[in-house]
């Protein structure tokens, strides 16, 4: 992505004012599978910002430094809004602190280059989730403000999808090609597995709490929803396989097309949210390309 593709959109969605245990099409199963992603976002994004900014002074390319700053500003706004999102999950009784705490402990490893490789791997997962979300072309079946918020986050994840991998390439420039490749994909294999296990555990935990029970049939329906239809986990896993290609980059033509489609849909979704919640309209600032803002 070019720096001008990374756009700062300071929008307040304040999901905490509209908690909803089945905001995705009234379907608690699909909702918990998306909420199980949301739980991991605040501790994850704080870690990503630290991991990339640690190298800001060592990077000679001013374009990449500008991208890191744009990346950090987008992720900081995501964290702010997702903290409110997780407040909404607390409001319906979820033990958010326990789940966020588990993720924070998993990310306690701050070894500099490894933390960049971990960030690249999780950015791949968020890029894949975002691509799936935009490609599904959700409409009014997703309750506001969740609809506008997930679109906003998805568009921006694709906009900054290549920044972490560009930083990884810069900080490992003295490594041999095979070493750089193996370190990247070996780290990803562990991260993808850990993220998937978190997703299943958190999803089932929230499903049990929201339904007041968890039967074998519920677990089977959870697996069907996640892996078959609509199959969020399967679709993300298939996209993640691309990460194992040597020289992989997430910013291909298909991603750029999806990002532009998502941007157009985001305008519609935010306008709809502002119509429904007019008291929040003033919280939206003008979008600013990071090249002009940093």
Binding region for Fe ion (CB under 5 A): 75, 78, 126, 157
Query: Quick one: 119 or 172, whose CB is closer to Fe ion?
Result: 119
Closest distance of CB 83 from Fe ion, Å: 12
Closest distance of CB 288 from Fe ion, Å: 17
Query: Quick one: 71 or 202, whose CB is closer to Fe ion?
Result: 71
Per-residue b/e over 20-48, b at no fewer than 16 CB within 10 Å?
Answer: bbebbbeebbbbbbbbbbbbbbbbbbebb
Query: Quick one: 165 or 204, whose CB is closer to Fe ion?
Result: 165
Query: Quick one: 126 or 225, whose CB is closer to Fe ion?
Result: 126
Closest distance of CB 203 from Fe ion, Å: 20
Query: Quick one: 78 or 147, whose CB is closer to Fe ion?
Result: 78
Closest distance of CB 153 from Fe ion, Å: 6
Nearest residue to Fe ion by CB is 78
- Residue 294 token pair: 């940093």
For 6, 200, 224, 235, 282, the CA distances from 131, given in Å and listed in that order, are 16, 20, 21, 10, 29
Q: Is 58 exposed, middle or buried (0-12, 13-18, 19+ CB in 10 A)?
A: exposed
Scan for tokens 């995501």, then name that residue.
78
Candidates 75, 117, 83; CA nearest to 100 is: 83
Closest distance of CB 55 from Fe ion, Å: 16
């Amino acid at each position: 992505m070019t720096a001008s593709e990374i756009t700062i959109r300071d929008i307040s969605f304040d999901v905490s004012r509209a908690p909803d245990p089945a905001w995705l099409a009234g379907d608690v199963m699909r909702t918990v599978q998306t909420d199980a992603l949301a739980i991991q976002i605040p501790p994850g994004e704080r870690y990503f910002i630290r991991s990339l900014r640690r190298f800001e002074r060592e990077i000679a390319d001013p374009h990449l430094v500008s991208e890191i700053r744009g990346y950090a500003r987008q992720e900081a706004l995501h964290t702010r809004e997702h903290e409110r999102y997780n407040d909404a999950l607390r409001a319906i009784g979820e033990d958010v602190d326990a789940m966020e705490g588990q993720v924070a402990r998993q990310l306690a490893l701050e070894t500099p280059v490894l933390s960049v490789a971990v960030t690249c791997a999780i950015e791949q997962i968020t890029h894949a989730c975002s691509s799936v979300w935009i490609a599904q072309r959700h409409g009014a079946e997703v309750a506001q403000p969740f609809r506008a918020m997930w679109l906003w986050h998805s568009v921006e994840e694709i906009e900054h999808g290549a920044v972490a991998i560009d930083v990884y390439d810069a900080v490992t420039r003295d490594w041999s090609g095979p070493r750089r490749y193996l370190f990247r994909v070996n780290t990803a294999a562990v991260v993808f597995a850990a993220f998937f296990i978190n997703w299943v555990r958190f999803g089932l935990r929230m499903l049990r709490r929201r339904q007041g029970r968890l039967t074998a049939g519920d677990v089977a329906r959870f697996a069907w929803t996640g892996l078959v239809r609509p199959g969020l986990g399967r679709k993300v896993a298939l996209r993640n396989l691309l990460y194992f290609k040597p020289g992989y980059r997430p910013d291909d033509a298909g991603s750029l097309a999806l990002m532009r489609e998502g941007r157009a849909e985001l305008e519609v979704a935010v306008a709809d949210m502002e119509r429904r919640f007019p008291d929040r309209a003033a919280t939206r600032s003008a979008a600013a390309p990071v090249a002009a803002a940093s």
